Amino acid sequence: MTEELNPFKIAQQELDSAAEIMNLDKTAHTLLREPKRIINFNIPVKMRDGETKVFNGFRVLYNDARGPGKGGIRFHPLESLDTVKALAAWMTWKTSLANIPFGGAKGGVICDTKNMNAYELENLSRGYIRALGRAVGPKVDVPAPDVYTNPQIMAWMMDEYTKIVGHEEPAMITGKPLEVGGSEGRFNSTAMGGMYVLRESARMINLNLKDSKVVIQGFGNAGMFAFDIATRLSGAKVVGISDSEGGIYDPNGIDYNKLVDAKKKTGKVQGYDKGEKITNEQLLELDADVIIPSAIENQITSANADRIKAKIVLELANGPVTPEADAILFERGVLDMPDFLVNSGGVIVSYFEWAQNMAGYYWTEDEVYKKLDAIITRSFNEVTATQKDYASRGKKISPRTGAYIVAVDRVARAMKLRGWY
């Protein structure tokens, strides 16, 4: 049987597995297998040369039983509705697991930002918000940055929304620049949250991070900050790193500052002048204590899961481990910490930004990190407690299944209390 790699079908498969174990009500299960609302629209954009191009955009509100939708906007040439639906589902579980008052949503536009200038990007960003109108907003659905979108794009979108509603509404979107209502600590919050999960995971299996070897797949924002934070705060040694063009391996450790310089000068990780050049596939199978996939989905599958040597897999990317691979890793005793726990730092600090905007009162970076640490550590403990509870009843479950059970139960209870079923 061929392994399923469609992201939305994987999301449904993961939900189905958890639903069976927890004996989820059939009506609740049916409601949670599909999005509540899908908006598919065209965006006419005037380009710099005077031509008008039409871009296809989406916004998926998966579930809002626990609060307004929450989820990023992706600008990508290979964006698809199935990917956006899957990410909206995972956002539903992510906000629920963190126990913050949001549901799950996601958006995207099929476009190639590498071939667009700032004028065209601004027109596209404003057009996206005009197309959605009041289908987004601080009490409806709150977007944020994602793949190939950034704080500047969020600022343009917020400004366009202001024109639509006729007043300032900074809480309608998160991930904004500090000057227009952004939060301290937001930019590296995904990696910071992941490092808190790594700390707790290492404690649980008695791994001394100071003496550990770490491999990171991906050197975008999340991977770059994970490298910096892991080495500074825990003393771990990063021995392998990659980007889309390949990676490098140096058992003596990779120098972060020299790597950043090499990446800036050459545009690729393999511009680093030390170590051995390797492929992304080889990187995942290196002899290391911790692997941090922080790039794209479906990187550890049934084809390579039995060759993973790490003690901990920390899923900083969305969907980097397939359900089949998760089962293999669990059977082998590898601690695979699921994406919607590990990378929830971004949405948790987005919640902080939304709350600060709503209140008009702003926190310091230290306050943000302390609150982030408290929430994500609580989530970690709830997942492990659920695993122990099921183990006591003779049913061993993986951390991913434990996280699903916690998150799905909360959403199902909210739907039940609202009278949806």
Beta bridge partners of 278: 247
Confidence band, pLDDT 50/70/90 cuts, at residue 9: very high
Domain ranges in the chain? 1-34+183-344+351-421, 37-180
Alpha-carbon 421 to chain mean position: 30
What's the CATH number for 37-180?
3.40.50.10860
Q: What is the pLDDT of residue 188?
A: 87
Backbone angles phi, psi at 282, to 5 degrees: -65, -35
Is residue 395 annotated as a catalytic residue, yes or no?
no
Given a cut of 90, whether residue 100 has pLDDT beyond it is yes
Q: Please state the pTM of the whole predicted model.
A: 0.92
Given a cut of 80, whether residue 372 has pLDDT beyond it is yes
Task: Write down the residue that tokens 């009490």 correspond to.
Answer: 139
pLDDT, mean of residues 274-293: 91
Confidence band, pLDDT 50/70/90 cuts, at residue 1: low
- Is the CB of residue 218 less than 8 Å from the CB of residue 295? yes
Establish whether domains 1-34+183-344+351-421 and 37-180 are of one fold: yes
- CATH architecture, domain 1-34+183-344+351-421: 3-Layer(aba) Sandwich (3.40)
Given a cut of 90, whether residue 219 has pLDDT beyond it is no
- High-pLDDT (> 90) share of the chain, %: 79
Nearest 10 degrees: Cα torsion 74, 11, 326, 200:
60
pLDDT, mean of residues 122-131: 98
pLDDT, mean of residues 147-171: 96
Catalytic residue among 106, 213, 237, 311: 106
pLDDT, mean of residues 97-104: 98
Q: Which residue has the higher pLDDT, 223 or 382?
A: 382
Closest CA to 280 of 254, 243, 306, 322: 243
What is the separation, in whole angstroms, between the first and last Cα of the chain? 35
Q: Which residue has the higher pLDDT, 66 or 323?
A: 66
Burial class (CB within 10 angstroms; exposed 0-12, middle 13-18, buried 19+) of 242: buried
Q: What is the pLDDT of residues 223-281, one digit of tens each?
A: 888 888 888 877 889 999 998 889 999 999 998 889 999 898 898 888 988 889 998 88
Given a cut of 90, whether residue 32 has pLDDT beyond it is yes
Alpha-carbon 390 to chain mean position: 27
